[in-house]
Chain A
Amino acid sequence: MTELTELLPVLDDDMTKCVKCGMCHAHDALYLASLDESLGTRGQLMLLNAAVREGAQVGDLFTEKMFCSLNSYDPQTNCPTGTPVLKILAQVRQHLLKTRGLQGLADMFGERVLAAVSASAAARQRAAVLAKVAAAELPAGNQWTDALRPLSDAGALAPATALELLPEVSPAKGTGRVAYLVGSLTNYAAPEIAQATVKVLNAAGYEVVTPKAQKCPGDLFVTLGDLDTAAALAAHNAAVFAEFDTVVTSCAATGAAVKNGLAGDDSGLSAKVRDVTELLAEGFAPRARLDRKVAYHDDCQLRAGMKVTKEPKALLTAAAGSNFVELAAADSASGAGEGPFSLFFAPLAQKITAKKVERIVESKADVVASGNVAAVLHLNEALERAGASARMKHTVELLAEVC
């Protein structure tokens, strides 16, 4: 059993902002899938309140509930009183990790992750990226390193990373110059998305600089509760990108984590980061039309995390014309979650995902675009397994076909 009362000075003001109105539930995919208050955002905050303010002793189940989160921006963005849930949860996880180690999380790394990994190639791939990044960035002896090591061979990663494939400078005819922050999942598992990003930016007239020295932006470590590593990575990237005015991302989860400063002080990097579609909205013109039915998954990481929703849809509509079809509840969750959620909580993730797959099938789209790389990989496999013909693509991959 662990006491959390010492967190009170750190969390007091942020926690007090929650008035328990329950309006987060309507925007909380995990609550809606489970209808379990203790897994909802308000429930998490009230559990925390009992532990931090009233000294309730917490054990394994509490720890699990603090980690059981999609890390979606939706509940936080729609909170009427502005309770910074993601920041609070990150701090609690850090504290739990420091005081309890991986106690209570062991179960997640045992049977559950193995079950998720054995059932899904997308899960294997994400597990492998997680292990790879952890091995690369964590100091020796860090508790996560050992826990994650068995996952490193779980899934097939791309033969060459995005950072290996992309030139440091990709010139263009226009006058704009931007730096590209790739993100770990793209780098190791989906370098083709990085290549498409550079291609469309070039077509829109931007010279793209992809600094080889960049590292994982740290968002994975925020979800794992390792804020020290996240902060070190944020500081490193801040220095790498210091000379640039605009830093573009194509991974919404990466962009959202940086933009919201979750990883800690990044010396102004958060103010410079923009989603690739924000830049394309100003200079991209399709030269051909997409010849199949296209829909758009309005992922929370991009919509609520980066406040970008009109641009990608406008670009896709321009590229697809009458081939663009609406996806019902386009803003509903994919079940991918940010961080290791879909590995830890596979049954809940699958429940959320199944609903999304159903809606994609109903839309009759051939291809569904999204700006969140995790959602693209996660849903792609779910569609394949469901026997659906539709596939996921990153928005820039579709735009790259017509530029």
Chain B
Amino acid sequence: MKDSLVSKLIEIAGKDNVKTSIEDRIAHSYDATLYTQLPGVVVSPTTTDQVAGVMKLAYEEEIPVTPRGCGTGLSGGAVPSEGGISLAMTRMNKIKEVDAENLMAVAEPGVINQDLDKLVESMGLFYPPDPLSKKGCSMGGNVAEGAGGPRAFKYGCTRQYVKGLEVVLANGDVLKTGSRTVKYVTGFDLTGLFTASEGALGVMTEITVQLLPKPAYTETMLAIYDDVWQAGRTVSEIVAAGIIPSVLEFMDSATTKAVEAYAKVGLPADADAVLLIETDGHAEAAREDIAKCVEICQRCKATRVQRAHTAEEREGLWKARRSAMAAITRINPSLIQEDPVVPRSKVADLAKAVLNIGERYNLHMCSYGHAGDGNLHPSILTDIRDPAAMKRAREAVKALFDCVLALGGTLSGEHGIGREKAPYLRQEVGDVGIATMKALKDALDPKGILNPGKIFVN
């Protein structure tokens, strides 16, 4: 980056917040995907004014800007543009307000999801979106990618909770959207537009989210199947029975095998699927619901059903699911993980298809995830050092998305499109869908400086 531009950035954001060394640029060249690209400069603003100043300069000079939270994303969204500005939002990390009366919290984008949840939990409230990376991911990243998590089946994803935003637009203008009121139809839904916009429409500098009263009671159970179709049937029957579990997690046979080899939690070697189910709410209701779930699992020929009676037992049942990532990366070190969603009734079809694609492309593949909302994480375990395997992995990803779309599903439930899924977007949304999205993008970012190379194929 030109010295004159760096000087201007230092004038705007301060010397400590602007870094140009190769070491600092390398440390901002990646997220949790396999993509890397070197930014020209790293700017870590601490105020909205600084962000506005940076955007104004970037707009005048037409420098690409990629906002970045904690870099835990799985779509390549935070991977910067070659030579551009990596706008690291981690230092804007204040929880500005918790309004218990109106069930609202106001946070800067660098606040860690878990830190917010812990704070409001101490006040008897909770912030439902709970990505499995919650201890390390930022609220800004969550909103930018539309993060979900196990609780999404009952409580929904980030989108449902964002009530207002402060956004710095491409030209440096500062926009405030939304309202703290329960109802809000004043003009276009700009909050909704910027949520999950992947840093391509503006830079969030303040987030207002809705909170809920913390459920009083949680019940947990685990069911093991020797036939994945029966696990799929269980999901459909639970929903048909009018029960809405707070968690309905799934692991396929390959994941279960890896988990057992790694964590030795006592899962049978021949298990074809595992479901982890939680119900919450008032004690009586949660107990009644879990009892019905047990009954349905048994009717659907679960080979084993375990219910947790103590906090330790609950942790024990969760251990299998929590170990999934650690376990599968022991098979092969490099992980490509997707987040497609299919109609709930097709979860077993998707799980089967993932294993078939793995066989077809001679790759270790498995899936686990949120069966309740049809959102699985098909995972390819490969080795970045093996070019032939990486080529097959890319082909397998394409085959996977073909299959997801054929099942009536969608590319992404909670990670965003980013770079990873950009090549497949048109296949799902069509020419008119792309044109409409591009029209919005062009209107808000006419010079195309915000996170270029993402969502749309150049």
Q: Are B136 and A50 in contact (CB under 8 A)?
A: no
A26 to B118, CA, bound (A): 14
Please report whether the interface of chain B is mostly helix, strand, loop or mixed according to DSSP. Answer: loop
Nearest to A27 among chain B residues (CB) is: B135
A292 at the binding interface (Cβ < 8 Å): no
B residues 311-334 near A (Cβ < 8 Å) are 325-326, 329-330, 333-334
B residues 12-35 near A (Cβ < 8 Å) are 19, 21-24, 26-33
B193 to chain A minimum Cβ distance, whole angstroms, is 28
Please report whether the interface of chain A is mostly helix, strand, loop or mixed according to DSSP. Answer: helix
Interface bits A23-58 vs B (CB < 8 Å: 1, else 0): 111100000000111101011001100100000100
Nearest to A22 among chain B residues (CB) is: B72
Q: Are A37 and B88 in contact (CB under 8 A)?
A: yes
Residues of A within 8 A of B334 (CB): 16, 19
A81 to chain B minimum Cβ distance, whole angstroms, is 4
Q: Which of these, B23, B70, B88, B333, contacts A62 with CB under 8 Å?
A: B23
Residues of A within 8 A of B136 (CB): 21-26
Supposing A16-B333, A25-B136, A26-B114 touch, asked if A37 and B71 sit within 8 A by C-beta, the answer is yes
Q: Are B26 and A47 in contact (CB under 8 A)?
A: yes
Q: Are A38 and B24 in contact (CB under 8 A)?
A: yes
A20 at the binding interface (Cβ < 8 Å): yes
Q: Are B335 and A35 in contact (CB under 8 A)?
A: no
Nearest to B44 among chain A residues (CB) is: A35
Nearest to A15 among chain B residues (CB) is: B333
Residues of B within 8 A of A65 (CB): 23
Q: Are A47 and B27 in contact (CB under 8 A)?
A: yes
A305 to B31, CA, bound (A): 28
A53 to chain B minimum Cβ distance, whole angstroms, is 9
B384 at the binding interface (Cβ < 8 Å): yes
Q: Are B30 and A81 in contact (CB under 8 A)?
A: no
Residues of B within 8 A of A19 (CB): 32, 329, 333-335
Nearest to A62 among chain B residues (CB) is: B23
Q: Are B383 and A16 in contact (CB under 8 A)?
A: yes
Residues of A within 8 A of B114 (CB): 26
Supposing A16-B333, A23-B135 touch, asked if A37 and B93 sit within 8 A by C-beta, the answer is no
B residues 183-213 near A (Cβ < 8 Å) are none
Residues of B within 8 A of A20 (CB): 30-33, 71
A62 to B26, CA, bound (A): 11
B133 to chain A minimum Cβ distance, whole angstroms, is 7
Interface bits B78-90 vs A (CB < 8 Å: 1, else 0): 0000000000101
- We find that the number of chain B residues with CB closer than 8 angstroms to chain A is 38
A25 to B137, CA, bound (A): 9
Q: Are A80 and B326 in contact (CB under 8 A)?
A: yes
A56 to B135, CA, bound (A): 32
Residues of A within 8 A of B31 (CB): 20
A17 at the binding interface (Cβ < 8 Å): yes
A321 at the binding interface (Cβ < 8 Å): no
A117 to B383, CA, bound (A): 47
Q: Which of B27, B28, B137 has the most CB of A within 10 A?
A: B27
B residues 242-295 near A (Cβ < 8 Å) are none
Q: Which of A23, A56, A62 has the most CB of B within 10 A?
A: A23
A35 to B90, CA, bound (A): 6
Q: Are A23 and B27 in contact (CB under 8 A)?
A: no
A242 to B377, CA, bound (A): 51
Residues of A within 8 A of B26 (CB): 38, 46-47, 50, 56
Nearest to A53 among chain B residues (CB) is: B385
Residues of A within 8 A of B335 (CB): 19
Q: Are A35 and B93 in contact (CB under 8 A)?
A: yes
Residues of A within 8 A of B77 (CB): none
A82 at the binding interface (Cβ < 8 Å): yes
Residues of B within 8 A of A140 (CB): none
Residues of A within 8 A of B19 (CB): 38
B378 at the binding interface (Cβ < 8 Å): no
B110 at the binding interface (Cβ < 8 Å): yes
Residues of B within 8 A of A35 (CB): 44, 90-91, 93, 110
B354 to chain A minimum Cβ distance, whole angstroms, is 19
Q: Are A61 and B23 in contact (CB under 8 A)?
A: yes
B112 at the binding interface (Cβ < 8 Å): yes
Supposing A16-B383, A26-B112, A26-B135 touch, asked if A21 and B24 sit within 8 A by C-beta, the answer is no
Q: Which of these, A16, A22, A47, A82, contacts B32 with CB under 8 Å?
A: A22
Interface bits B130-148 vs A (CB < 8 Å: 1, else 0): 0001011100000000000
A47 to B22, CA, bound (A): 9
Q: Are B90 and A38 in contact (CB under 8 A)?
A: no
Residues of B within 8 A of A81 (CB): 325-326, 329-330, 333
Residues of A within 8 A of B93 (CB): 35
Supposing A47-B27, A50-B26 touch, asked if A61 and B333 sit within 8 A by C-beta, the answer is no
Supposing A22-B72, A26-B114, A26-B136 touch, asked if A38 and B333 sit within 8 A by C-beta, the answer is no
Q: Which of A35, A43, A62, A65 has the most CB of B within 10 A?
A: A35
Interface bits A299-320 vs B (CB < 8 Å: 1, else 0): 0000000000000000000000
Residues of B within 8 A of A46 (CB): 26-27, 29-30
Q: Are B325 and A61 in contact (CB under 8 A)?
A: no
Q: Are B329 and A80 in contact (CB under 8 A)?
A: yes
Q: Which of these, A17, A24, A61, contacts B329 with CB under 8 Å?
A: A17
A19 to chain B minimum Cβ distance, whole angstroms, is 5
A37 to B193, CA, bound (A): 30
A19 to B22, CA, bound (A): 21
B117 to chain A minimum Cβ distance, whole angstroms, is 13
A12 to B335, CA, bound (A): 16
Nearest to A23 among chain B residues (CB) is: B136
Q: Are B70 and A25 in contact (CB under 8 A)?
A: yes
A27 to chain B minimum Cβ distance, whole angstroms, is 8
Supposing A16-B385, A35-B110 touch, asked if A22 and B27 sit within 8 A by C-beta, the answer is no
Residues of A within 8 A of B383 (CB): 16
Residues of B within 8 A of A17 (CB): 329, 333
A252 to chain B minimum Cβ distance, whole angstroms, is 24
Nearest to B110 among chain A residues (CB) is: A35
A11 to chain B minimum Cβ distance, whole angstroms, is 13
Nearest to A37 among chain B residues (CB) is: B27
B residues 102-134 near A (Cβ < 8 Å) are 110, 112, 114, 133
27 contacts between A and B (CB under 8 A): A16-B384, A17-B333, A19-B333, A20-B33, A21-B32, A21-B72, A22-B32, A22-B72, A22-B133, A22-B136, A23-B135, A35-B44, A35-B90, A35-B110, A36-B24, A36-B27, A37-B88, A37-B90, A38-B27, A42-B71, A46-B26, A46-B30, A56-B22, A61-B21, A80-B326, A81-B326, A81-B330
* Chain A residues at the B interface, C-beta cutoff of 8 Å: 12, 16-17, 19-26, 35-38, 40, 42-43, 46-47, 50, 56, 61-62, 65, 80-82
Further contacts, 17 of them, CB under 8 A, given A19-B334, A19-B335, A46-B30: A16-B333, A20-B30, A21-B32, A21-B133, A21-B325, A23-B135, A24-B136, A25-B136, A26-B114, A35-B44, A38-B24, A42-B71, A46-B27, A47-B27, A50-B26, A62-B23, A80-B329
Name the 4 nearest CB pairs between A and B, nearest first: A38-B27, A43-B27, A26-B135, A22-B72
